[in-house]
């Protein structure tokens, strides 16, 4: 019998901490100081306006009175209810939930790092500024771009920053371009980021998911422009062939792109590899067409883990890029923050980057700059002075407070240095190998669920729900069932244009044993069928929730 991580175990009940206390119990004892109010001279009432003081009789302070052991057990038990990257395989496609090396956490927790105040003057934080400056150089080397800003504190904030730069660029050129082309294979935040920055997003279809139940629905799909190969679809409809396969291959179609290019187009936002897990084979040709139109190429680099160290985005013709340090560079996602979404640009866009930025000068001759990001001169040999500067001719201004989430930047910097240049390329090589191993192992059982059976995937593979649906199992049923086996569910129902999508990203940090166990669990769920899956999860503290009710009637207290 196969063993899985989550098939057995003990789950503790846990009451609110407030209900676990007893009057007078304390987790810490402070020695008496033998000083009364007379010795102290003044009390809080002498310094604080009475209207701001709490009346302890009318409004007692509701804090739990508990021992240290009660507190420790409480939060340890609560933590055991959650699946996290330190407890289980976390195959969220498009999210790159890979292991967070603990050496990065140790370095970020050093007292001379974590106790620094962000408003300290540059003279007091020279090592901090040097780390950011050097990390900028590393990213420029890996991408071929000319400068990065670390102000954006999330991937979506990086997208927004990039779009604001593009907006300002055309304003300076006195060109009123208001359209951003976004393939349907791009990340879901791309349309929102471009819209908030003042553009009109226009979708490019790259994939026709022909899984309709009737020729009438196929005709409706065709009439609405869903899919670009209209002759193919029409012929299928005429022949009453309703079981057509996926015709498009998930890549940007050059002929289709040409239909949308005009002088109103400011940029194209390309996610590469795209959300189908495919590398855009035509990206250089796409970039040439866009540049010929005077437009810019923005690349969503959230999937940079798929080719880091093996190719540079500048060679694709990319003008501007954001990266996710909490994905490719192994820093924690952090439950909504902190994140970091640095934005890199080609030289002609540097003056549009946010402020502040870090400048370096040789201390001996203050007007002589240190090595630029593209010069291979070790900064340690230059005796540089680093300063925060706020003067840029066309800067879009501030995107965040101070100069970004330094603790996150430091973790990513530590990650790259601990790998060394000779090992960075292995990140993407192993990530791609793992994803294709999983795709290949699932092929026999889930062949009819692979939208791209003839293609190699990159860092993630995507399935539709065909095989599960044949057993009466929905994508949501599968996701809930896999929890009982000790795994976090993969990304589901995304990409949106693949019916019942299941997107799996093993990352490079997972072993073949872990992947085999996950694959075996998928096969068992399919074998057990709807009767089992529809009632899952069974072994968790909280069973399946009524998600519709939770959305319609949220409780905020």
pLDDT tens by residue, 304-355: 999 999 999 999 999 999 999 999 999 998 654 578 999 999 999 999 999 9
* Encoded tokens for 354: 């946010």
Average pLDDT of the residues of the chain: 86
Is the model's pLDDT at 212 over the cut of 70? no
Mean pLDDT across 108-114 = 88
Q: How confident is the model at residue 366 (pLDDT cuts 50, 70, 90)?
A: low
| Cis? peptide before 525, omega within 30° of 0 | no
Domain that holds residue 460: 425-549
Inter-CA distances, 390 with 145, 152, 169, 395, 406, Å: 21, 16, 18, 9, 18
Is the model's pLDDT at 247 over the cut of 60? no
pLDDT on residue 215: 41
Is the model's pLDDT at 238 over the cut of 90? no
Is the model's pLDDT at 458 over the cut of 90? yes
Based on the fold, state whether residues 495 and 404 are members of the same structural domain. Answer: no
306-309: Cβ within 8 A, 24+ apart: 306/273, 306/279, 306/428, 306/431, 306/432, 306/458, 306/459, 307/273, 307/279, 307/428, 307/458, 308/142, 308/424, 308/425, 308/427, 308/428, 309/142, 309/424, 309/425, 309/426, 309/427, 309/428
| Residue 324 forms part of a structural domain | yes
pLDDT on residue 214: 39
Domain boundary among 386, 418, 450: 418
Task: List phi, psi (to 5°) of 426.
Answer: -70, -25
The answer to whether 66 and 21 are in contact (CB under 8 A) is: yes
| Residue 141 forms part of a structural domain | yes
Mean pLDDT across 112-121 = 87
pLDDT on residue 492: 95
Based on the fold, state whether residues 254 and 385 are members of the same structural domain. Answer: yes
**DSSP 8-state symbol, 463:** E
Is the model's pLDDT at 224 over the cut of 50? no
Domain boundary among 418, 433, 462: 418
Mean pLDDT across 97-115 = 91
| Residue at token pair 């080609």 | 346
β-strand pairing of 179-183 with 147-149? unpaired
pLDDT on residue 542: 84
Based on the fold, state whether residues 172 and 292 are members of the same structural domain. Answer: yes
pLDDT tens by residue, 415-456: 999 999 889 999 999 999 999 999 999 988 888 899 998 899
Inter-CA distances, 482 with 90, 259, 427, 467, Å: 11, 44, 27, 16
Distance of CA 339 to the CA centre of its chain: 9
* Encoded tokens for 498: 């693949």
| Residue 261 forms part of a structural domain | yes
Based on the fold, state whether residues 414 and 432 are members of the same structural domain. Answer: no
Based on the fold, state whether residues 402 and 445 are members of the same structural domain. Answer: no
**DSSP 8-state symbol, 28:** -
| Residue 325 forms part of a structural domain | yes
pLDDT on residue 335: 53
pLDDT on residue 547: 80
β-strand pairing of 265-271 with 179-183? parallel
| Residue 7 forms part of a structural domain | no
pLDDT tens by residue, 286-295: 999 999 999 9
| Residue 379 forms part of a structural domain | yes
Inter-CA distances, 21 with 65, 80, 84, Å: 5, 22, 29
Based on the fold, state whether residues 429 and 280 are members of the same structural domain. Answer: no
Based on the fold, state whether residues 435 and 388 are members of the same structural domain. Answer: no
**DSSP 8-state symbol, 310:** T
Say which CATH number the domain at 161 has: 3.40.640.10
Q: Considering the chain, what percentage of its residues have pLDDT values greater than 90?
A: 62
Is the model's pLDDT at 221 over the cut of 60? no
| Residue 537 forms part of a structural domain | yes
Is the model's pLDDT at 94 over the cut of 50? yes
The number of domains in the chain is 2
Based on the fold, state whether residues 286 and 198 are members of the same structural domain. Answer: yes
Q: How confident is the model at residue 473 (pLDDT cuts 50, 70, 90)?
A: very high
Based on the fold, state whether residues 457 and 402 are members of the same structural domain. Answer: no
* Encoded tokens for 410: 């430091």
pTM for the structure as a whole: 0.84
| Residue 231 forms part of a structural domain | no
Based on the fold, state whether residues 366 and 505 are members of the same structural domain. Answer: no
pLDDT on residue 367: 60
Q: How confident is the model at residue 362 (pLDDT cuts 50, 70, 90)?
A: confident
Is the model's pLDDT at 300 over the cut of 50? yes
Q: Considering the chain, what percentage of its residues have pLDDT values greater than 70?
A: 86
198 exposure class (CB count in 10 Å sphere: 0-12, 13-18, 19+): middle
Mean pLDDT across 61-90 = 90
pLDDT on residue 29: 78
400-404: Cβ within 8 A, 24+ apart: 400/151, 400/152, 400/153, 400/157, 401/118, 402/118, 402/119, 402/356, 403/118, 403/132, 403/150, 403/151, 403/356, 403/358, 404/132, 404/149, 404/150, 404/151, 404/152, 404/153, 404/340, 404/342
pLDDT on residue 41: 66
pLDDT on residue 206: 86
Based on the fold, state whether residues 406 and 438 are members of the same structural domain. Answer: no
The answer to whether 542 and 10 are in contact (CB under 8 A) is: no
Say which CATH number the domain at 470 has: 3.90.1150.10
Based on the fold, state whether residues 495 and 378 are members of the same structural domain. Answer: no
Is the model's pLDDT at 229 over the cut of 80? no
**pLDDT top residue among 483 and 13:** 483
What DSSP assignment string belongs to 473-503? --HHHHHHHHHHTT----EES-STTSTT-EE
Is the model's pLDDT at 188 over the cut of 70? yes
Strands (E), 143-253: 147-149, 179-183, 200-204
pLDDT on residue 293: 97
Domain boundary among 394, 418, 442: 418
**DSSP 8-state symbol, 43:** -
* Encoded tokens for 150: 């670390």
């Amino acid at each position: 019998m196969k063993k899985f991580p989550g098939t057995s175990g003990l789950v503790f009940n846990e009451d609110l901490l407030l209900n676990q206390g007893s009057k007078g119990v304390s987790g810490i004892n402070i020695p008496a100081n033998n000083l009364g109010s007379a010795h102290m001279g003044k009390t809080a009432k002498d310094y604080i306006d009475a209207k701001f003081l709490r009346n302890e009789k009318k409004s007692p302070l509701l804090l739990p009175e508990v021992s240290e052991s009660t507190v420790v057990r409480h939060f340890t038990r609560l933590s055991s209810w959650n699946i996290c990257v330190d407890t289980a395989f976390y195959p969220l496609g498009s999210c790159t939930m890979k292991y967070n090396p603990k050496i990065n956490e140790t370095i970020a927790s050093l007292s001379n790092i974590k106790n620094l105040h962000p408003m300290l003057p540059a003279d007091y934080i020279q090592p901090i500024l040097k780390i950011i400056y050097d990390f900028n150089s590393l990213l420029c080397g890996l991408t071929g771009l000319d400068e990065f800003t670390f102000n954006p504190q999330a991937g979506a904030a990086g997208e927004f920053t990039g779009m604001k730069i593009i907006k300002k660029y055309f304003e300076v050129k006195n060109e009123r371009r208001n359209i951003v082309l976004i393939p349907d294979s791009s990340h879901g935040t791309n349309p929102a980021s471009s819209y908030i920055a003042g553009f009109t997003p226009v979708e490019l279809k790259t994939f026709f998911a022909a899984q309709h139940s009737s020729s009438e629905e196929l005709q409706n799909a065709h009439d609405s422009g869903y899919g670009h190969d209209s002759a193919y679809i029409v012929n299928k409809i005429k022949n009453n062939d309703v079981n057509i396969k996926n015709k498009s291959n998930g890549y940007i179609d050059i002929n289709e792109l040409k239909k949308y290019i005009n002088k109103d187009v400011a940029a194209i936002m390309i996610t590469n590899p795209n959300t189908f897990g495919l590398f855009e084979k035509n990206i250089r040709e796409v970039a040439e067409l866009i540049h010929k139109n005077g437009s810019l190429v923005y690349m969503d680099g959230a999937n940079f883990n798929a080719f880091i160290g093996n190719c540079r985005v500048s060679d694709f013709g990319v003008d501007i890029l954001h990266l996710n340090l909490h994905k490719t560079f192994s820093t924690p996602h952090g439950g909504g923050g902190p994140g970091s979404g640095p934005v890199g640009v080609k030289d002609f866009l540097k003056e549009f980057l946010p402020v502040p930025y870090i400048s370096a000068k040789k201390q001996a001759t203050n007007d002589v700059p240190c090595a630029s990001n593209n010069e291979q001169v070790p900064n340690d040999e230059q005796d540089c002075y680093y300063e925060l500067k706020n003067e840029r001719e066309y800067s879009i201004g501030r995107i965040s407070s101070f100069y970004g989430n330094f603790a996150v930047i430091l973790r990513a910097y530590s990650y790259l240095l601990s790998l060394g240049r000779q090992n960075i390329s292995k990140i993407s090589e192993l990530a791609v190998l793992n994803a294709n191993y999983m795709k290949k192992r699932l092929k026999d059982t889930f062949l009819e669920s692979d939208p791209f059976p003839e293609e190699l995937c990159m860092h993630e593979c995507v399935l539709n729900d065909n095989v599960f649906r044949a057993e009466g199992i929905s994508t949501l049923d599968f996701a809930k069932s896999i929890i009982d086996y000790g795994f976090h569910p993969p990304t589901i129902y995304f990409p949106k244009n693949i019916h019942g999508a299941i997107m799996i990203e093993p990352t490079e940090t997972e072993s073949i044993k872990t992947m085999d166990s996950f694959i075996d669990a998928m096969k068992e769920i399919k074998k057990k069928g709807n009767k089992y899956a529809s009632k899952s999860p069974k072994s968790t503290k909280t069973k399946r929730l009524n998600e519709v009710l939770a959305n319609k009637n949220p409780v905020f207290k």
